[in-house]
Amino acid sequence: MTGTTIVIASVLKPVYEPRMYEKIAITLSKNRAAIIHVVGYGTVDQTTHDTSVQTHGLGYFKRLSFKRLFASWQVLRLLFQLKPSVAIACTHELLIPFLLYKIFHPSVKLVYDLQENYYLNILHTQAFPSFLRWVIASWVRLKERITLAFFTTIIAAENCYLQEMPFIQSKAIVVANKALVDPIVLQARKNAVLKVRTCLLFSGTLSAEYGIYEAIDLAEKLYEADPTFYLRIVGYCADQKEQKKLQDYIKGKSFIEAMPLDQPLPHTEILKAMREADWGLVAYRDHIATRNRIPTKLYEYISHQLPVLCTTNPVWQKLVTAYDAGLCINYKQTHTDLLIRLLKMPGFYKSTARPVELTWEEEGKKLLVVSC
């Protein structure tokens, strides 16, 4: 692999997004004699990140804008400049630009990092106006069906994608988005003691589908019954309308600590919040697009031994039960007094064994057998 150039690119994912940069790029840089480039949303700050990986920022733009459309062609231009022999697309938006690059460089190995079932997400969430959803979703699925015939490998972030998208099975390998364990945070969690105030953490993507409003409503009920409870929100809301709605929703609520919602946060901020929290909230709504997926933050919370307050979901409940990791509840129908007593009780994570099967340390090894 000496002299191999690998480009890993997205459009909306930030340059230093954990899966794209910290997991895939860093893993490949450690295990392959290659030059790694990561391309993504925002700007770069190489001084605070791994110098073995070169980064390229596409700048800032709105989700629905001409600038976003242009970003895909910025990536294509970079491909021609960098001349990779392996190109990993981390979004459906880059499938056509990557295929165009292959027309001029037939030897390039194209890899699709399938992080979402975009068809279901677009069709069943509020990311796009309702009258456009079917058209956009159908276009994305058609684009995937046609272009992926020319891709060497598909890296699926979830097992369920193989059932939901049978046409990818012959080329797919599942590399789940498992946790990068920070030993300092893990040790702090192991040594955690009950505090006077109880911190509930909601981290990651901030959207209605991911349960941010249910988390706020539950925290409010707990706070009204016991003022020692408070909610910390550490995450990013990409949609401007949703940002405004969320900011209005939390305005005046003294039990909420929220970081700025309008820009992606470094993963270190989430790790810091996990270190200080008492409970991690996984409050997803029951939704066809997410029902069979395992949220990354569920892997992270369990791997760092942060007790989890999780939506009742058969797939997630198995994990929570297996690791004695917390409680599964209906966020909209809770007995507040009983829940408070349970949340104040110690005794989760009785086993001291590390759940290595939930960590990227093990999962990342699968990248070595990907044909790139």
Q: Do 279 and 364 fall within a single domain?
A: no
Question: Domain of 158: which CATH number?
Answer: 3.40.50.2000
Edge-to-edge strands of the sheet including 198-205?
Answer: 256-258, 229-236, 198-205, 279-282, 308-311, 326-329
Q: What is the pLDDT, as a whole number, of residue 96?
A: 98
Do residues 312 and 215 both lie within one domain?
yes
Is 175 in the same domain as 218? Answer: no
d(CA 87, CA 97): 11
- Which residue has 């770069």 as its token pair? 44
| 153 and 242 housed in the same domain | no
Residues 347, 331: Cα–Cα separation, whole Å: 22
Task: Give Cβ neighbours of residue 65 (< 8 Å, ≥ 6 apart).
Answer: none
Q: Which residues pair with 269 in a beta bridge?
A: none
Residue that the structure tokens 């409003």 belong to: 213
Q: In 3D, which of 240, 239, 238, 222 has the Cα closest to residue 230?
A: 222
pLDDT of the residue at 1: 45
> Same domain for 166 and 235?
no
Length of the chain: 372
Domain identity same for 113 and 240: no
User: What pLDDT shows up at residue 371?
Assistant: 47
Are 169 and 190 part of one and the same domain?
no
In this structure, the answer to whether residues 156 and 41 fall within a common structural domain is yes
Neighbours of 165 (CB within 10 A): 21
Q: Quote the tokens at residue 14.
A: 């930030």
Q: Are residues 223 and 347 in the same domain?
A: yes
End-to-end CA distance of the chain: 9
Give yes or no: residues 171 and 199 share one domain. Answer: no
Question: What backbone phi and psi angles, to 5 degrees, belong to 65?
Answer: -160, 160
Q: Do residues 147 and 196 share a domain?
A: no
Are 196 and 77 members of one domain? Answer: no
Q: In sequence order, what are the residues at sequence separation of 6 or more whose Cβ sits closer than 8 angstroms to the Cβ of residue 12?
A: 41, 63, 68, 91, 93, 238
Residue numbers of the domain that contains 38 = 4-179+360-369
Please report, in tens digits, the pLDDT of each residue of the chain (372 residues total): 457 899 999 998 999 999 999 999 999 998 777 899 999 998 887 655 667 899 999 988 777 677 888 899 999 999 999 999 999 999 999 999 999 999 999 999 999 999 999 999 999 888 788 999 999 999 999 999 999 999 999 999 999 999 999 999 999 999 999 999 999 998 888 787 767 899 999 999 999 999 999 999 999 999 999 999 999 999 999 888 899 999 999 999 999 999 888 888 889 999 999 999 999 999 999 989 899 999 999 999 999 999 999 999 999 999 999 999 999 999 999 899 999 999 998 779 987 667 889 999 989 999 976 645
Residue-level pLDDT at 350: 83
Amino acid symbol at 55: T
Please count the structural domains in the chain.
2
Task: Give me the residues paired with residue 9 across strands.
Answer: 39, 89
The pTM of the full predicted model, rounded to 2 decimals, is 0.92
